[in-house]
Structure 1
Amino acid sequence: MRMDVFGDVLALARVDAALMATFDARAPWAIELPARQGASFHAVVAGTCWFTADGMPPRQLAPGDLVLLPAGVRHELATDPNLPTRRFDDDLKRSLMHPDGDLVLDGPGARTRILCAGYRYEAHAAHPVLSLLPPVLHTATASPQSGPWLRTILDLLTHETRSGAATGAATAAVRLLDLLLIHVIRAWLDTGDDTVGVSWLRGLRDPVTARALAALHDQPGHDWTLDGLAATVNVSRATLARRFAQHVGEPPLTYLSRWRLTVAAHKLRSTTLPVAAIAHDIGYTSEFAFNRAFTRAHGHPPGRYRRHAE
């Protein structure tokens, strides 16, 4: 049930662009990748390299290792973490790009091959799904639990990268990146890593909070009360209020109000439903009250928000 909630949130902040390439280099080499708007990942296909992100010690990556950077932090890849780096900018990219689309860096030493992608999420998405994650998620496809699925997705991504201008290649890559993100975060959640702060994402690990979140996401337009939600989750009102606030950082009905307006923003961007119908769908009996709440949350009334999004 917890991943249903995550999938619900992810669906409202879909990947809307992706850039993929295979980096094929022979030692010695070291590159610096500046911070970027959006997420990125590197998957080592062959050879080894060192990965360093701001404020973190270097870690060596082996074949099958994958690092996801949800917020696109500055980082370095190198055959030796002590080597001076070259900044990966447009000039360096053009100098390394081969006609087949690979980025190739020649040298006398051992070969390393890395599948790389940079991608951004829908600019208007209101739910900060990626900002709630640690700056670096490191997982290995050798893991018996998540490894087979990750390897399958990476194999498909590699195929689509090599497909170039083949029909549907770009669309397939975007959808596969959605899948990759879900499986990497699922693997991370299963590790029990508690570096994430108080948020709905942390709440997915608590069974009481996860059931409450699932109920709110399943029926955002329902006339929820704290007593009704507690009965649905089969706990006392006091237990629900305490556990939800502990893990999510706010009361259930406060979270529901924000989620309703996130859903409303998505409907305004992606449908032609009248504002009154959207207000009713998410649980508002008064269009005036919905307009006031939406304006407070998004800075514009619903009609203007829709025009700007278009």
Structure 2
Amino acid sequence: MDVLSDVITVTRTGRSRSAYVRWHAPWRQEFASVPGSAGFQVILQGSCWLLRPEAEPVRLGAGDVVFVPHGRGHTLADSPDTPVTDPPCGPADDQPSGTFASDTVDRSGDDGPVTVVLCGACQLDPSRTHPLLLTLPDLIHLPARAGRHPELSAAVQLLAAEVENPRLGTDAAVPALLDALLLYILRIWFDGQSALGSTTGWAAALNDPPVTAALHAVHRDPASPWTVATLAAEAGLSRAAFARRFALLVGQPPLGYLTWWRMTTAARLLRTSDAPLRSIAAQVGYTSEFAFANAFRRTHGTAPGTFRRRS
């Protein structure tokens, strides 16, 4: 798997939620701060305002996408001056009227202009948060522009159709489409940062062929006995030049990232499979179960068996 696909697969946990919400003005909806989650809103019809503490209101129109990667609180409203009309909502809401329930919801207001919003959220495991996600800002706004990001628009349309009119297979389609939507948002964001000339950080790393080649090698085969020299060969650079370049862009040395990724992969396998410890150790590059247990304990603060039981 490539790096971005792995980030989504390994970090996401629990059940993704989505809703097709139709608001009638006047309305104002607060989205509570929910650490350990990532949420988005897509304006499908009409317009509204994005409100955040200590930030200027931002007008959103049809096709605009708002992504909140760290679960920070924010508000949508038909006008910056509209008072609160609904209680704050978050991914824990289980009632049919909850914005994050998989449902179609009519809320608030009278006979004013209608705004239709596709809302969604997914849970992220803080213990496995990839450093790529940590570099994202609190909020990403992707304005709608005719002809741009056709793959994102297609994912939005498919997801909106499934949520608005659930049919046979919707329960399987929605999580897959949410993953696709998240991938497209991240891809567009990092491509945009690259276009702006970012020279450090993950935006630059994902657009640097030598570093990307090494990252893909690690993610493709974490069990391989990688060394700085063999990863430098994948990157097509000398050992010293590769080590400097990788650390500058990724934020840690090559073997430090390799160990972190191995232990993150091991944690996922411990949570999601019944494979014996020796098998998991082999899958992440350890021929000795004892060495694997020591490395896992240094990273996660507990033994693999204890981690599995607690999970």
TM-score range, shorter chain: 0.7 to 0.9
Task: State the secondary structure of the residue aligned to 1:103.
Answer: strand
Deviations 1:61-95 (A, max 9, x none): 111111111112110111222333345347x9979
Instruction: Tell me the amino acid that sits aligned with residue 279 of structure 1.
Output: A
**Greater displacement, 107-116 / 36-45:** 107-116
What's the TM-score, normalizing by structure 1? 0.87
Contact 1:5 1:214 in 2 (8 A): yes
What's the TM-score, normalizing by structure 2? 0.86
- Which of 118, 122, 131 is residue 115 of structure 1 equivalent to? 118
**Greater displacement, 285-294 / 22-31:** 22-31
2:176 counterpart of 1:178:
no
CA distance in 2 between counterparts of 1:228 and 1:42 reads 43
Contact 1:17 1:121 in 2 (8 A): no
Pick closer, same or farther for the CA change 1:15–1:262 going to 2, 3 Å. closer
Deviations 1:133-172 (A, max 9, x none): 21111114435341x21222112211221234x4332332
Task: State the secondary structure of the residue aligned to 2:211.
Answer: helix
Report the Cα offset of residue 97 of structure 1.
7.4
Report the Cα offset of residue 128 of structure 1.
5.6
Superposition pairs for residues 56-75 of structure 1, below 5 Å?
56-75=55-74
- Which of 214, 219, 222 is residue 217 of structure 1 equivalent to? 219
CA distance in 2 between counterparts of 1:195 and 1:93 reads 43
CA distance in 2 between counterparts of 1:242 and 1:66 reads 37
- Which of 284, 289, 308 is residue 287 of structure 1 equivalent to? 289
Contact 2:11 2:125 in 1 (8 A): yes
In structure 2, the residue matched to 1:42 is: 41
Report the Cα offset of residue 252 of structure 1.
0.3
CA distance in 2 between counterparts of 1:113 and 1:22 reads 7
Contact 1:30 1:78 in 2 (8 A): yes
In structure 2, the residue matched to 1:187 is: 188
CA distance in 1 between counterparts of 2:77 and 2:57 reads 10
CA distance in 2 between counterparts of 1:287 and 1:258 reads 17
Task: State the secondary structure of the residue aligned to 1:9.
Answer: helix
Report the Cα offset of residue 26 of structure 1.
2.7
Report the Cα offset of residue 44 of structure 1.
0.7
Instruction: Tell me the amino acid that sits aligned with residue 114 of structure 2.
Output: R
Deviations 1:86-115 (A, max 9, x none): 45347x9979679x7313223243221111
CA distance in 1 between counterparts of 2:177 and 2:287 reads 39
Contact 2:191 2:203 in 1 (8 A): no
Pick closer, same or farther for the CA change 1:107–1:96 going to 2, 3 Å. farther
Superposition pairs for residues 61-210 of structure 1, below 5 Å?
61-86=60-85, 88-89=87-88, 101-121=104-124, 125=128, 127=130, 130-142=133-145, 144-146=147-149, 148-164=150-166, 166-192=167-193, 200=202, 202-210=204-212
Q: CA RMSD in A?
A: 2.9
Instruction: Tell me the amino acid that sits aligned with residue 139 of structure 2.
Output: V
Contact 1:10 1:129 in 2 (8 A): no
Contact 1:96 1:105 in 2 (8 A): no
Report the Cα offset of residue 244 of structure 1.
1.0
CA distance in 1 between counterparts of 2:243 and 2:199 reads 18
CA distance in 1 between counterparts of 2:47 and 2:180 reads 25
Report the Cα offset of residue 288 of structure 1.
0.9
Pick closer, same or farther for the CA change 1:104–1:97 going to 2, 3 Å. farther
Report the Cα offset of residue 293 of structure 1.
1.0
Instruction: Tell me the amino acid that sits aligned with residue 233 of structure 1.
Output: A
2:23 counterpart of 1:19:
no
**Greater displacement, 188-197 / 136-145:** 188-197
Contact 2:200 2:248 in 1 (8 A): yes
Task: State the secondary structure of the residue aligned to 2:11.
Answer: coil
Pick closer, same or farther for the CA change 1:195–1:160 going to 2, 3 Å. farther
Report the Cα offset of residue 265 of structure 1.
1.2
CA distance in 1 between counterparts of 2:97 and 2:287 reads 59
In structure 2, the residue matched to 1:238 is: 240
Contact 2:61 2:144 in 1 (8 A): no
Percent sequence identity is 36
Pick closer, same or farther for the CA change 1:17–1:200 going to 2, 3 Å. same
**Greater displacement, 260-269 / 60-69:** 260-269
Pick closer, same or farther for the CA change 1:95–1:183 going to 2, 3 Å. closer
Residue ranges of structure 2 left out of the alignment (5+ in a row): none
What number of residue pairs does the alignment pair up? 303
